[in-house]
Amino acid sequence: MKTWLGVLLLCAAISVWADDDVKKGPVSYSRGFLTGEEFLKLGENDQTSYVMGLTDGFLAAPLFGADKKYVGWVNDCVKGKTNTQIAAIFRIYLEQNPGRWEKATQSLMFEALRKACVP
């Protein structure tokens, strides 16, 4: 009995330790307010303001439990860039990927920043 309990505890400890280093899989989230196509219909000032909100949301993700090791690159990516530059990164990504316009802006912005900033 003690042996099985020891094995069970060891397995539990290994799974917790291993899970800490495993990259998280797909996540689900609510669609949000706009698709890429709807975003492109906004005026430039509204686009810039919307991108500021998206960026602030990404940067605040650790407040909601996101591990900084998975979202820290966003801070590195936007550091030193103006809101206008970040909006341009997003606009250019959308213009180059019209087949993705039906997707939610959150996922598209994530993709745009990854493409622009992560080798």
Confidence tier at 13 by pLDDT (50, 70, 90): very low
pTM for the whole structure:
0.73
Cβ contacts of 28-35, under 8 Å, gap ≥ 24: 29/104, 29/106, 31/104, 32/104, 32/105, 32/106, 33/105, 34/104, 34/105, 35/101, 35/102, 35/103, 35/104, 35/105
Q: What is the pLDDT of residue 27?
A: 60
Q: What is the pLDDT of residue 28?
A: 62
pLDDT in tens, 49-87: 999 999 999 999 999 999 988 889 999 999 999 999 999
With beta carbons less than 8 A apart as the criterion, state whether 51 and 87 touch. Answer: yes
